[in-house]
Amino acid sequence: MNSIATLRDAVKGAVVLPGDATWEQERLAWHLTNDQHPAAVVHVTGVDDVVAAVNFAKQHGLSVTAQARGHGATAALQGAILLRTLGLTAIEVDEQARIARVEPGVRWGELNEVLAPTGLTGLPGSSGDTSVVGYTLGGGLSWFGRKYGQAANHVHAVELVTADGEPVRVTAESDPELFWAVRGGGGDFGIVTALELRLFAEPQIYGGRMTFAAEHAREVFRSFVAVTKSAPEDLTLWAWLMNMPDAPMIPEPMRGRWLVMIDAVYLGSSSAADALLAPIRAAAPLLSDTVGTVPLNQLDGVANEPVDPVPGLLQGTLLSGFDESAVDALIAAANPGQPSPVAVFEVRHLGGAFARPQPTDGAAGALAEPYLLFFGGFLPSPAFTPILEAAMGEITEAMATWDTQRTHLNMSSNKPVEVLFPTDVLSSLRAIKHRRDPNGVIRSNHPVG
């Protein structure tokens, strides 16, 4: 029996190894383009399994990594033991203290469902399918982040298994250094078995998607620029240009069309939101408008992100600004209406609390950049990769004036770690990693090195 097979004796959960009948399915991530090859997959059943897997890795000179859904998969886990956490789904909400404790298999859609009747919310992003833990370790860019900042900066406590195989509960008081690193530094500092998150009272969410024909892209994007210039922190707007293939995985009405869309989420009354959105609605004839009251458990309907795994390439770039000339440059490069391998262009408005550093922040810190551009396309076959990469390179070139050469950990695909963190933050993360895990037993999707 080879040594990796003895992992089956060490853990209670199912272990799947290369050569097993289900291996080819089990090793995959949601992000299908990252053709990952771990040493083994373990479906962990609890903290004991995580401790056992970390100790096994230590003894056998291996690394351990964790994935819930694998939306954030990169090439980094090759040869590591992959802990699948989707079985760990407990959610406990203390409404009085406004804290939710979630295990690492919990998805945002599940937490939103539990919180909806309470009038409290965490800081969810656009997809209900991403795990709360994976998203938060990477910073967490929420619909509500302009008001509250990144999700990682609102973690109250972290339960994790360290590289030494110790289960610990870490707070700002118990271990300030580790508590800082894990809140935005990614999954390199321990295998997280639960997060305690601060909750916020938000009685009313108003939002949805306004869709226009792509021939109006310039006017609609310019209205986005105008409204975001003075938007209150309760309002978050994202502008999209979409060129969707005519394929069953694409939901209607996007399938086979170029469209321009503005997604809005407002924390407050419908009348105040409608007044703020008036210039956008007036920019061009609306094809559809879903903006209305949004119960928290339907928040992921706003952006209608794909749930089924997709092969594709996407990359994010933090922008120094997004003005009318940036709109013109982006639209000229995207060339809506014409065939293009690039299918999605999304500009997210940041700013507000995202940009304000707080002394209690984790490694996620503040984001000075006021906008983020996220773009990419689908890969019907690997042979298509150079074509898509070349087209994405042209977009990057067109946006060079506004491109800060920095990106956000959750929006970074396989970008080098140097562009994910400011230099001082990266050196602190590296120093902590080298002190706490000199042999690299824990490995994230973006090892700090």
Ligand X SMILES: Cc1cc2nc3c(=O)[nH]c(=O)nc-3n(C[C@H](O)[C@H](O)[C@H](O)COP(=O)(O)OP(=O)(O)OC[C@H]3O[C@@H](n4cnc5c(N)ncnc54)[C@H](O)[C@@H]3O)c2cc1C
Binding site for ligand X (CB under 6 A): 30, 65-73, 85, 104, 125-127, 130-131, 133-135, 137-141, 186-187, 191-192, 305-306, 410, 444-445
Contact criterion met (CB below 8 Å) for 47 and 64: no
Beta carbon of residue 124, minimum distance to ligand X (angstroms, whole number):
8
Rounded Cα distance, 51 and 322, in Å: 47
Instruction: Quote the CA–CA distance of 54 and 39 in Å, as a whole number.
Output: 13
Q: What residues pair up with 243 in beta bridges, in sequence order?
A: 258
Whose Cβ is closer to ligand X: residue 137's or residue 296's? 137
Nearest to ligand X of 121, 216 (CB atom): 121
Quote the least distance from Cβ 185 to ligand X, whole Å: 10
Phi-psi domain of 256 (left: phi exceeds 0; alpha: psi -120 through 50; beta: other) = left
Among residues 34 and 223, whose Cβ is nearest to ligand X? 34
Following DSSP, what letter does each residue of 387-448 receive, concatenated?
HHHHHHHHHHHHTTTTB-S---GGG-TT--GGGTS-HHHHHHHHHHHHHH-TT--B--SS--
Shortest approach of ligand X to residue 168 CB, angstroms? 13
Q: Among 31, 89, 42, which residue's Cα sits nearest to residue 64?
A: 42
Token pair for 272: 């105040």
Residue 140 or 336: the one with the smaller Cβ distance to ligand X is 140
Answer yes or no: are the C-beta atoms of 191 and 66 closer than 8 Å.
yes
Question: 362 with 184: CB under 8 angstroms?
Answer: yes
CB of 114 to ligand X, least distance (A): 17
Query: Which pair of tokens denotes residue 182?
Result: 């894990």
Q: Given the DSSP bridges, would you call strands 40-43 and 64-67 parallel, antiparallel or unpaired?
A: unpaired
To ligand X, the closest distance from the beta carbon of 190 in angstroms equals 7
For residue 191, give the nearest of 290, 82, 76, 60 by alpha carbon.
82
Nearer to ligand X, 82 or 398 (CB): 82
Nearer to ligand X, 27 or 69 (CB): 69
Q: Looking at this protein, which amino acid is placed at residue 112?
A: N
**CB 379, min distance to ligand X, A:** 15
Minimum distance from residue 318 beta carbon to ligand X (Å): 13
* Residue closer to ligand X, measured from CB, 216 or 266: 266
